[in-house]
Structure 1
Amino acid sequence: MSVLDCRDLSFAYEGRPVLSHVNFSLEKGSYLGIIGENGSGKSTLIKGILGLKKQASGEIRLHLPDAQKGMGYLPQQQTMKKDFPASVWEVVLSGRLSQLSFPYRYRKVDRDYAEHMLQFLSLSSLKVHAFRELSGGQQQRVLLARALAAGSQVLVLDEPVTGLDPRITEEMYAMLERCIHELGLTIIMVSHDLPRVFHEVHQVLYLAKGKQMFFGQTEDFLKAHPEVIRQGGIL
């Protein structure tokens, strides 16, 4: 069953085209890697999928019970404010806000769901700890739990392991695999680390010079674009 369809998408800033003719479709449980050099349109496409940027033409169709509540987002670490005075529990529970309406009072179902995500990502022991006192890897796990607590069915990740040490990086990728296999999530990941992307994802969307150059299975991309591999492994 398709959960996301993008048809002939184009984006522009102040009338200047920045990305054009993007076409792809994702089934439930897909793991998509979006790759391309800086300025190729990756961030613009992500903003469009998240509903933060209106496309100039084309359409984005989310086949979810609630399109807004079904999307989770984990931004780059450096874009996050990490010193705010909140506990791990408060950060994760805040992911439920998208499920609430005024007067925005948490219900038992919200607390239970947030608790389940803490347990799922092995964070229960850190529940009362201050978020700002955690290591970078722990903070990233907490933010992932927050995104999952929103009831996400499609999870969008922007460079999720940047700045993490190798051991924590391995743990994060293992958690993402669990999200797919145990929670049935669909994952869209932007990354410059090509060797690891090709090892992890099932499908690749390759953008270059504001255009879609490839969409398909990872092994097919490796056959079709050997020149990308020869560039040294990082875009």
Structure 2
Amino acid sequence: MSKSTPKTSIKSKPQRRVPQRRTPDIEEPVIAHPMERVIAIVYDGMLILALLFLVGTVLTVIGTLLTMQTGTDSAQAQSLPTWYQNFIMTPSFVLTLVGFYGMFWRRGGQTLGMQTWRLKTVNNAGHLLTWGQSFRRILAACLMPLLCGVIGSLIGGSRAVLLTSVFFGFIFNYIFCLFNSRGLAVQDMLSNTITLKMPKVEQEGLWRGFRNRKKNK
């Protein structure tokens, strides 16, 4: 009888344990800090001043050609008519301001200054603002500076007092955040909008937001 060959047991190689990667905690948007919002406005303010200066220069040239006779020396220089300043130039400045913020808020929710600090303005539903919502937010932001300016003009009357009162009204919009339970500014509450601090991983560039919005149309 033939001897049976012993069965050799095949040992399986131990499998290496692949360490599982920890999924990073997903950071969520939070209410923007008032100081960051003020700094972003200062960034945008330089661009807005340049736009207003350009618009004012063009309107001044047009108004001079249409409403006044130009003299030959500085002694004959005249100022633009009051009606032209109040009904042409002032509304043009307001439209420039609304157009600047409205264009950026409608496209990506961010101006150039807001993009630097990862801020984004949306409505309470989390959607980008419409032209109407943008106008209401700008109007709400100007309410306190305008009210303080009127009070300052009644109390003091000088230009320094007026500018100080307007500046105090502007700062009050953001000081209000410190006393509000949700950290909202005055313009947030009056216009039903909100400015958020976006996380780094979900931050979308301004120009990418322009392109994505154009593709979705």
TM-score of the pair, normalised by structure 1: 0.22
Larger radius of gyration: 2
Q: If each structure's strand is expressed as a fraction of its own residues, which one has the higher value?
A: 1
TM-score by length of 2: 0.23
Greater relative contact order (Cα < 8 A, sep 6+): 1
